[in-house]
Amino acid sequence: MNIEPIRAAELVAPFWTIVVALLATTPCAMLGCYLVLRRMSLLGDAISHSILPGIAIAFLVTGSLASSWILVAAVATGILTAVLAQALARAGVTEDSSLGVVFTALFALGVLLISAGARQVDLDPGCVLYGTIELAPIHTFRWGGLDIPVAVVPLGLVLVATIAFVILFWKELALTSFDPALATSMGIDAGRMHYFLLGMVAVVTVAAFEQVGSILVVAMLIVPAATAQLLVQRLGRMMVTAVAVGGLAAILGYAGAAATDTSVAGMMAVAAGLLFLFALLFARRGGLVRQAWQRLIFHLTIAGEDVLATLFRFEERSPTARMAYSEAVRLAGGGMLGHWAVRRLCRRGELDAIGSFVTLTVLGRARGQSLVRAHRLWEAFLDKNFDLPLDHLHESAERFEHYIGPGLEEQLAAALQEPGRDPHGRPIPAPEPSREPAG
């Protein structure tokens, strides 16, 4: 085996690409939190498309992509998007259509301007969509003995500006995002904050745009923030998480693109999507896997309780009652889940499996007893307070017995003055589980 030593020079380009990607995603992820919380994600989408004519015009006029006029033009078109969409909505177009009309029209204009006027330079309609981050390490300047990509400077400045914006207006942004009415009553101009935020989004978008393209700016704005929203509850933590998710997506995206020799920006979006999917499935609160697990445990608990209650009723008739294992499985709903429920009872020490039969343990008897007690108390309560035929009581009690905890059980007993028998004449077992099976 001959392992070639990796030379430092070979790491320089990946290093700078990842730095540029991180610088581009971080401010996007930060502002994206506000967009997602304010349900303005699609305005972010629209702005990232509609700044194109602004960029194109500024580019055609000044002849350079590095001029600060591009920033001005982009912010102007970004805000124009929001204003125009609002104006159209006032003129009677539905909100989604007005947004759709404004940004597709402006984007089309931008594409035309670029393909008509800027053909000789390195701005082509395709790059508008997916950026040129691969070229970032090539355009460099020397500073302190290092070849630093040119792109680092504007992105760094925008990152600093975004952090300053978020810190300076932390309270205002949070208040207007969560409770605009309260914010207004506290003297914060919610409308002005709205346009401040949109202006910042336009700035961030135009800075990230050259690297990751318009569509992937959308990915970086929305996906990390939405992922963070699944994982945490507080705004500060959400922002930190979103930045982390964005950064992780950038690194994974770069690695994926390098491994498959494809688009870095595209891979970053895919990586962000996968991280989102991961959060959706495995989030501690509300994750789909956890939800499914909880539903399963709930199902098993109910099924097990049905077995325990039935076996307790058997014991009422004959103290040495036992149940065939297969019958217990059938009672627990049958199938794999039925087996699981019965095994779970044995494991928890509530059933004893002897041969092909199961019997109640002391623990299981206590639980069966309190279930049957809850069941019969509920029947007695229904019978006393509602005019229902006797054969209508059981069904309700069969469902309700699982939900009557010790507290409600006590109250029911007190309300009924501890009745000895249920409406069908069967004895209501004592609250304290006794050592001997009830007669």
Partner 1 sequence: MIHYNTLIVLSGTALLGASAGLVGSFVVLRRQALTGDALAHAALPGLCVAFLIVGERSLGAMLFGAFVSGILAILVLAGLRHASRIKEDAAIGIVLSVFFGAGIVLSRWIQAHATGGAKAGLDSYLFGKTAGMIAEDVLGIGIVSAMSLLVLGIFYKEFEVVAFDLEFARAQGWPAAMLDAILLALVASTVVAGLPAVGVVLVAALLILPAASARFWTDSLGRMLLLATGFGAGVCITGAMISSRLRATPTGPVIVLVGTIWFLVSLLLGPRRGILARWRTRRAIGHRLSERRMLALLGERAATGAPWIRLDERIRLGSGSAREADAILGRLARAKLIEPIQEGQTRLTPLGRQRAAEEVRELRFREALDVLFPEWSVEAWLHPDSSPSELVPAEVSQQVIHGLKASGRWPELADGAR
- Give the binding site for partner 1 (CB under 8 A): 36, 39-42, 44-45, 88, 91-97, 99-101, 104-105, 107-109, 111-112, 115-116, 119, 125-126, 129-130, 215-216, 218-219, 221-223, 225-226, 229-230, 256-257, 260-263, 265-270, 272-273, 276, 280, 286, 288
Q: Which is nearer to partner 1, 87 or 146 (CB)?
A: 87
3-state secondary structure of 330: helix
Q: What's the min distance (Å) between Cβ of 279 and partner 1?
A: 9
Of the candidates 331, 12, 40, the one whose C-alpha atom is nearest the C-alpha of residue 149 is 12
User: Tokens 């914060």 belong to which residue?
Assistant: 188
User: Tokens 């149940």 belong to which residue?
Assistant: 323
Of the candidates 251, 254, 250, 252, the one whose C-alpha atom is nearest the C-alpha of residue 262 is 254
Q: Which element (helix H / strand E) includes 360? A: strand 357-360
Q: Which is nearer to partner 1, 203 or 216 (CB)?
A: 216
> Using an 8 Å Cβ cutoff, are 379 and 360 in contact?
no
Q: What's the min distance (Å) between Cβ of 87 and partner 1?
A: 10
Query: Distance between CA atoms of 433 and 367, rounded to whole angstroms?
Result: 8
Q: What's the min distance (Å) between Cβ of 39 and partner 1?
A: 5
Q: What's the min distance (Å) between Cβ of 132 and partner 1?
A: 12
> Using an 8 Å Cβ cutoff, are 371 and 330 in contact?
no
Q: What are the backbone dihedrals phi and psi of residue 147, each rounded to the nearest 5 degrees, phi first?
A: -90, 105
Q: What's the min distance (Å) between Cβ of 397 and partner 1?
A: 33
Q: What's the min distance (Å) between Cβ of 80 and partner 1?
A: 14
Query: Distance between CA atoms of 213 and 266, rounded to whole angstroms?
Result: 9
3-state secondary structure of 427: strand
> Using an 8 Å Cβ cutoff, are 322 and 358 in contact?
yes
Q: What's the min distance (Å) between Cβ of 404 and partner 1?
A: 31
DSSP state of 428: P
> Using an 8 Å Cβ cutoff, are 25 and 208 in contact?
yes
Q: What's the min distance (Å) between Cβ of 89 and partner 1?
A: 12
Q: Which is nearer to partner 1, 109 or 174 (CB)?
A: 109
Q: Which is nearer to partner 1, 109 or 161 (CB)?
A: 109
Q: Which element (helix H / strand E) includes 324? A: strand 323-324
Q: Which is nearer to partner 1, 64 or 104 (CB)?
A: 104
Q: Which is nearer to partner 1, 48 or 310 (CB)?
A: 48
Q: Which is nearer to partner 1, 266 or 304 (CB)?
A: 266
> What tokens appear for 394 in the block?
């059981």
Q: Which is nearer to partner 1, 152 or 272 (CB)?
A: 272
